[in-house]
Amino acid sequence: MAEKQSQPQIEIAIDVPQISCHSIILPHLEASIIEKPPSSVLSKFHAGYFRISLSLCSQALLWKTLGDPADDPHAFRQVFSMLPPTAFSLLWSLALFTLLSQSLLYILRCLFRFELVKKEFFHPVGVNYLFAPWISWLLLLQSSPFLAPSSILYQTLCCAFVVPVLVLDVKLYGQWFTKGPWLLWTMANPTSQISVIGNLVGAMTAARMGWTESAVFMFSLGIIHYLVLFVTLYQRLSGSNSLPEMLTPTFFLFIAAPSMASLAWDSISGRLDVASKMLFFLSLFLFFSLVCRPTLFERSMRKFSIAWWAYSFPLTVLALASTEYAKEVTGSIAHTLMLLLTVVSVFVTFALMVITALSSSNIMFSRKLTNPVQSPAIITSTTTTTT
């Protein structure tokens, strides 16, 4: 015991260099601030975000239409004429700024995240929203307070925006009847109607420039494929769960397609004839059919997502069609319908603008990001799941 107690004890001193916590934390913070947000935003931003531009640009066109002088102005129509011209200018400027910002972001996405764009291009839902930016530009062009349809710049821009629509038509419509996995009955979903709307908007723009033959060409592409698509969706959507719950607001695109067809044919024929009225009545019927089924949208409304903007654009196009109907059909019923639909579309659009502004940080800069390519539905986007 004495020997054990007498054993010398050896002390080993180790010099540990002092490391400042700032030297560890700050570089990582700087990397997260400088490097992660751009890549996160580009990875999260997809073509489905152009729903916002679609809604704002169509609202600008609606406000311009309501501000145009009418031959026989009704008392309800004069309510909108009291709005100051500055309101329309602000709305059009907001739509232009939003569309420019989203277009720039998507161009950067194509440059730095091309693999995600490619997967979006081959996705049955994502490919349809590639029509959205070009539709938005065409609507914004029609509502422009600075350019006349007869100007060369107007016609040049129209051609520049219509060509991508025709290119996507060749790709999409060709696959519908030539490629087995891409046959229409296997790939059809409510967002497929956006491709039809693109052709109809192009037809309406061409008709307003006086290019009747080009307008009829675009209209024929849109209306024929709409008839085929409408029948296909009617046959397969009953009891089908192929559409994610968060995308159920896209059912309102059933309203947008016939409403836009009514507007396009009205521009081509020069008046709201029987064919245009039939398409408008069809959109009204579909609108009331959807409104009478609120449980269909119950789950998608529990948490805000960009998919909510799918409500605004169809309602605005329906309101636009109602204004043309009110011009042709004199009477209190037509003007009351126009007033109600216009108020609903304006209210929904501005409500979505406020909600989106309050949720913008969660939508685009959330820390918990999901790879949009790995998501089963590319266009579905919530505050925690992206596409």
Give the model's pLDDT for residue 55. Answer: 94
Percent of the chain with pLDDT over 90: 42
Least confident of 221-225, 269-273, 274-278, 361-365: 361-365
Q: Write a three-state SS string for the chain.
A: CHHHHCCCCCCCCCCCCCCCHHHHHHHHHHHHHHCHHHHHHHHHCCHHHHHHHHHHHHHHHHHHHHHCCCCCCCHHHHHHHCCCHHHHHHHHHHHHHHHHHHHHHHHHHHHHCHHHHHHHHCCCCHHHHHHHHHHHHHHHHHCCCCCCCCCHHHHHHHHHHHHHHHHHHHHHHHHHHHCCCCCHHHHCCHHHHHHHHHHHHHHHHHHHCCCHHHHHHHHHHHHHHHHHHHHHHHHHCCCCCCCCHHHHHHHHHHHHHHHHHHHHHHHHHCCCCHHHHHHHHHHHHHHHHHHCCHHHHCHHHCCCCHHHHHCHHHHHHHHHHHHHHHHHCCCHHHHHHHHHHHHHHHHHHHHHHHHHHHCHHHHHCCCCCCCCCCCCCCCCCCCCCCC
Least confident of 86-90, 214-218, 311-315: 86-90
Residues 140-174 have pLDDT tens digits of 999 998 888 889 999 999 999 999 999 998 888 87
What structural domains and CATH numbers belong to the chain? Answer: 44-360 (1.50.10.150)
Higher pLDDT, 34 or 227: 227
Most confident of 61-75, 159-173, 348-362: 159-173
* pLDDT at position 30 over 90: no
Higher pLDDT, 194 or 367: 194
pTM over cut 0.95: no
Higher pLDDT, 379 or 295: 295
What mean pLDDT is predicted for residues 272-292? 92
Give the model's pLDDT for residue 116. Answer: 87
* pLDDT at position 32 over 60: no
What mean pLDDT is predicted for residues 105-114? 89
Residues 200-224 have pLDDT tens digits of 999 999 999 999 999 999 999 999 9
Give the model's pLDDT for residue 62. Answer: 93
* pLDDT at position 75 over 70: no
Percent of the chain with pLDDT over 70: 75
Give the model's pLDDT for residue 113. Answer: 85
Least confident of 2-6, 126-130, 233-237, 337-341: 2-6
* pLDDT at position 315 over 70: yes
Closest CA to 163 of 194, 133, 142, 134: 134
Give the model's pLDDT for residue 242. Answer: 57
What mean pLDDT is predicted for residues 83-97? 88
Task: Give, to the nearest 10 degrees, the angle between helix 132-142 and helix 152-178.
Answer: 150
What mean pLDDT is predicted for residues 28-45? 51
What mean pLDDT is predicted for residues 352-363? 80
Least confident of 19-28, 86-95, 313-322: 19-28
pLDDT confidence band for 340 (50 / 70 / 90): very high
* pLDDT at position 357 over 70: yes
* pLDDT at position 80 over 60: yes
